Structure 1
């Protein structure tokens, strides 16, 4: 086949035409909202996805077994019956005729080696998947707000919180490792008064609240 520019290209092979046509049928079924809702909700039963694949094959065979030219009005009853019988769904929005017209256009183009309609459907499907993926990523990427404590102040870090709860403090061990040491939270004891040399010679001892002579009775300090 020679193009207007003078370039000679090989004619499309039957296998190539068949592959493009089947891809076009699959994409046409993907644009049919009523059908996709029935499949997703399993209105045709748990085998709804298998029924969808079967319907795609039936559409391909409808064209291959018929004789061109094909008309959407002839294909519409077949699609309507498949939707009702196979998926327990009725479509009264005119979508059945629209899908039939789209399928006829895809077949006509592929039969002539023109796959532009299929490429357009592929681009539309890719846009839909891209928008869905972007929406999902945005939903999962919500920024995390920093936690706040009393009066809007930021909470203490993990090490500070741990120290407050466990009563430990950080210290460095001899080998350079940071370890936790217990913190003595008791107030320091008041220094004990000193005994005079005479009291010591007499055998007096100091206690926190009183002085006591060894082997003697209590004496107030």
Structure 2
């Protein structure tokens, strides 16, 4: 049926996916256990993690500053309006997800610059704090190890040693829960929610 333990759900979907699942329904309505909706929530959290990664590693100046400033302002106003409307977290989260989707589109098209990230990042972080969401960050030791492995992978890819480079990618996923995002001239990374890191989540 639609009954499951919290521990099972945490292992299968992760705490952030469950939090998103919870805020996607108005507090006055019952919350039914649904694997389909939890899977959708997990996908939404992946989108948010990707956006956080893209914002952190954005490079370059200028870009679509006016567009991003308008997008950020409209998002924050719509988010605050939804939260003030009897704490409509469902609507508020959908507003945030549209914002995330648009930022990811800029990044996928190689258009997201550091200047754009500074503008959008303020709103992104504010909303994340309100919703109680936080992406995982590597400590200094992990960061050094991860970046060393990514550098090795880049060299192997240049040498067309794809089997070896894929092995490093797998090691990064298995040992560090790292997701790699390959852009045209560089690779960026972020730690994603995974069962191996449940103890790290806030």
User: If the length of structure 2 is used for normalisation, what is the TM-score?
Assistant: 0.25
The structure with the larger Rg is 1
More helix per residue: 1 or 2?
2
- Structure 1 length normalisation: TM-score? 0.23
Higher RCO (C-alpha under 8 Å, 6+ residues apart)? 2
